[in-house]
């Protein structure tokens, strides 16, 4: 675990440097401060960059030379889930939906459709609350389990794949994931569809980054995502890529 190594390294450096500077060169007091700043920066980057695998392993792409990519949709079931499912069906394209537990009540039929039409459902927490990352690991684990219960109630299956809300990781969440036995899924292409306004820019931003084994992050809460999806699928195919399901591409188990 990189987090543990960096922490031990910084503590050791401070333990060595503080006495040295205190007794030998008091003027160099800023050395320990520099180490502390470096440590905080590293931990912050580890929190916001899933692909650093800083606290826990995160699968952000598949290791393959085959021209395959996976589509993933976060924050469903949501306003455009049905429209997206229709487009995926017409194009015979599989996807992964990382759903929010509290959105499932009243939308069980949407989840059942995702499942029946060959997509997989992943866990994206129960509340997706703004303060989720401030919770203790017990509460985080309870959120993941609560989402699992809601998904199982709707489809009979309990998701094992988890995508952190806001793409943020921290030591408490890493502990909750480990205790719950979940597999963490990130992405290698962040579409920024939550901010995008220009369809053409969004399409070229995604297709310009295509690589074998890429995982594409999209949201079924966004109208623009539903609007570009048919063209996105077409352009991915035109570039010689096949769209496959994330669990199959990564060769991992999607459900408990
Ligand atoms: Zn989200």
Helical spans, DSSP H, in 59-209: 81-90, 108-116, 137-155, 171-180, 199-207
Distance 65 CA to ligand 1 centre (A): 29
pLDDT at 201: 98
Residue 96 tokens read as 């992964």
pTM over 0.85: yes
10-residue stretch averages of pLDDT, the chain, 256 residues long: 86 82 70 86 90 92 98 97 98 98 97 98 98 97 98 98 96 97 98 97 98 98 98 98 98 97
Distance 98 CA to ligand 1 centre (A): 8
Distance 16 CA to ligand 1 centre (A): 43
pLDDT at 173: 97
Distance 42 CA to ligand 1 centre (A): 24
Distance 178 CA to ligand 1 centre (A): 20
Contacts of 14 (CB under 8 A, 6+ apart): 32, 35, 36
Distance 129 CA to ligand 1 centre (A): 9
Residue 167: exposed, middle, or buried by beta-carbon count in 10 A (0-12, 13-18, 19+)? middle
Phi, psi of 30 (to 5 degrees): -75, -10
- The H or E element that residue 121 is part of is strand 120-123
């Amino acid at each position: 675990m990189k987090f543990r190594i960096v922490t031990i390294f910084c503590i050791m450096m401070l333990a060595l440097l503080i006495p040295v500077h205190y007794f030998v060169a008091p003027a160099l007091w800023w050395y320990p401060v520099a180490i502390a700043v470096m440590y905080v920066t590293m931990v912050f980057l580890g929190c916001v960059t899933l692909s650093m695998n800083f606290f826990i392993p995160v699968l952000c792409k598949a290791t393959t030379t085959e021209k395959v990519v996976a589509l993933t949709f976060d924050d469903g079931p949501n306003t455009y889930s049905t429209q997206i499912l229709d487009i995926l069906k017409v194009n015979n394209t599989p996807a992964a939906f990382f759903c929010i537990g509290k959105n499932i009540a009243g939308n069980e039929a949407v989840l059942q459709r995702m499942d029946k039409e060959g997509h997989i459902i992943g866990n994206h927490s129960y509340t997706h609350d703004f303060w989720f990352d401030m919770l203790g690991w017990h509460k985080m684990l309870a959120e993941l389990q609560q989402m699992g219960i809601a998904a199982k109630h709707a489809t009979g299956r309990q998701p094992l794949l988890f995508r952190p809300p806001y793409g943020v990781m921290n030591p408490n969440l890493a502990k909750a994931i480990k205790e719950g036995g979940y597999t963490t899924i990130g992405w290698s292409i962040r579409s920024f569809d939550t901010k995008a306004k220009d369809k053409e820019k969004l399409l070229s931003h995604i297709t310009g980054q295509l690589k074998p084994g890429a995982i594409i992050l999209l949201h079924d809460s966004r109208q623009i995502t539903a609007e570009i999806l048919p063209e996105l699928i077409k352009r991915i195919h035109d570039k010689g890529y096949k769209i496959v399901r994330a669990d199959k591409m990564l060769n991992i188990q999607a459900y408990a």
